[in-house]
Structure 1
Amino acid sequence: MINIGKINTLRVVAEYPFGYALAPLLDGETNDDGVYEAIEDADQQTVTLAIDEVETPLTEGQELSVFVTTDQRGELYATFKKPLIQVGETKVLKAVSATNFGAFFDWGLETDLLIPNDYQAQPVNAGMYYVVHAFFDEKTQRVLGATKLHYFLKENSAYLNEGDTVDCLVYAKTDLGFKVVINEKSLGLIFHSDAFKPLKVGHATEGVIKNIREDGKVDVALQRVDKGGRDALQQAILEDLEAHGGISTLTDKSAPEAIYTHFNVSKAAYKKAIGALYKQKKITLSPDAIRLNKDNA
């Protein structure tokens, strides 16, 4: 079977003046002597690899790794070029043009990826970057794209648990916060209160599952907010002090950007951590510095 919109491993089955016919690898079975025998399929599907794609002649039976997609007429073709996105993936792509029926995106191939108007979350502007999901449309028999991600990705997922570390891709900004694609599988939300660093559409960031609501929708934080996360930050602060002679000028008065750059956490989380260390008498605080107590040095 040929997987349209994905990279396939295919074999050469015929040569033509204009290119090569490629087909899926043969199924096989083992005979009584334990020898593998290929089983021919008379109805096998084939796809054409253009002759200008090939630098050196190919031989019948040779296996190739190629991307299979459709041209503007809906006909299958294979290419050695690797696209920026494959069917089932969600990536950031650049819009190159917009028409009255859809928008076209650069996906690394000669023919641009079409996103019909019905699959656009908002009107597309040429030159802008958008988060796009690629899919194979059975009706048109073409590989298409969509920025209406909820058509393809669920707003809840059984595989996620609170506290899981996940990869996030920001795809929209709302009054509540930033909508994100989680692990390219599902959708979630980072509330503005949890967005302690600048976020914008198209940005990738690591996150932590903060809460899974009763309706299954997922809230994501940019840092661990449980006891494990608090303990890890306190330990990181102590280790940083030890590495710098027991003193740090990064105080609770420091800029949020400076704290994030150094510890990858919000200013609020940092203040809570040094407050806890102070109560434990592990550090001494002054207006311009934090010092490690001698008993902990």
Structure 2
Amino acid sequence: MEKVNVGQYNTLKVSRKVDFGFYLEDGGDGILLPTRFAPKGLRIGDEITVFVYHDSDNRLIATTQKANACVGEIAKMKAVAVTRQGAFLDWGLMKDLFVPASKQLGGMRVGGEYLVKLYIDQMTGRVAATEKIEQLLSNDELTVKELDQVDLLVYRQSELGFVVIINNLHTGIIHTNEIFTELKIGDKLKGFIKTILPGNKIDVVLGKPGFQKVEDESEKILRLLQENNGYLPYHDKSDPEAIYAFFGMSKKTFKMTTGNLYKQRKIEFTQTGFKLIAE
């Protein structure tokens, strides 16, 4: 029997049914999946993916509710209660997520939203969260390379643009001149590693790298042309904000993509825009 990972999603087999739910195999007495969270038609022997955590009585419990974050992840969550011992955040589950007072930066308030990282408390074995995430991030030993696609979390604004957290492990910069949409602290985005500089400083860009991105955007531009009678009034002198507002891409990507379509003889440029070439 594989180890059950607390604070994570686990695929477990139903071992027995009781009046108040189902017990799932864990190599011991089993983990309860309450009736309210069990899908209709669930039977003994079925496998089901559930999130496992401790309830208020310190018993492991399973749920099909979607947690706002798993152990090891960083996410923005709202405080729903504050005590002298710590704060409780909305975790998306029946039980709120505890942030000890010692793990807060400046004190939390009800209704405030905070970036936290989830961890397993070594004393209790329960999932908890910390707001002190800077010390948990490091670029000393990188797990990424240039052009890798990565998960990004907007961390804070800087003089250069926005500092982002990469794959919950490293930090990087999205430079202001490569931001074509509004970013907010806590936003989760997809991007790729543009450059790794001396000292393991990382520049990242939103979207996908290279021609894979161009191919994706080509389909979008062709679709937009078809939806607008085969003509669009945008060109290499158009305002970058106007291009982003209509196409959802940077001016650089727009020029790369339309240039690629022109080489493929799918579009032609005019003095005021570009149009589809009839097949």
Deviation at 1:222, TM superposition (A): 2.4
Deviation larger for 200-209 or 174-183: 174-183
Instruction: Return the offset for 1:52.
Output: 6.9
Task: For 1:237 and 1:10, locate their aligned partners in 2 and report how far apart those are by CA, in whole Å.
Answer: 43
Question: What is aligned with 2:5?
Answer: 3
Query: Is structure 2 residue 208 aligned with structure 1 residue 206?
Result: no
One-letter code aligned to 2:183: L
Gap change, CA 1:52 and 1:186, over 3 Å in 2:
same
Task: Compute the displacement of 1:220 (Å).
Answer: 0.7
**Structure 1 residue 80 and structure 2 residue 68: aligned?**
no
Distance verdict in 2 for CA 1:202–1:253, change over 3 Å: same
Question: Is residue 157–residue 186 contact of structure 1 (8 Å, CA) maintained in 2?
Answer: no
2:163 to 171, 174, 179: 179
The answer to whether 1:141 aligns with 2:122 is no
Matches of 1:229 and 1:6, distance apart in 2:
32
Counterpart amino acid of residue 136 in structure 1: I
TM-score by length of 1: 0.66
8 Å CA contact 1:187, 1:218 repeated in 2: yes
Map Cα deviations across residues 42-101 of structure 1 (whole Å, 9 max, x no partner).
xx5x46638776889x9998876554323456x233133433322223333222133344
State the superposition RMSD in angstroms: 4.6
CA shift digits 1:112-143 (9 cap, x unpaired): 10112333355434323333321101134321
Paired with 2:215 and 2:197, the residues of 1 have a C-alpha distance of 26
Equivalent residue for 2:26?
24
* TM-score after normalising by structure 2: 0.70
Counterpart of 1:30 in structure 2 is none
The residue aligned with 1:108 is: 92
Residue 78 of structure 1 aligns with an amino acid whose one-letter code is I
The unaligned stretches of length 5 or more in structure 2 are 263-267
Instruction: Identify unmatched segments of 5+ residues in structure 1.
Output: 26-43
Q: Kindly indicate whether the alpha-carbon contact (under 8 Å) linking 1:95 and 1:129 is maintained by their aligned counterparts in 2.
A: yes
Out of 252, 269, 273, the residue aligned to residue 283 of structure 1 is 269
Identity of aligned residues (%): 32
Conserved in 1, the CA contact under 8 Å of 2:218 and 2:258? no
Q: How far apart, in 1, do the equivalents of 2:258 and 2:50 lie? A: 55
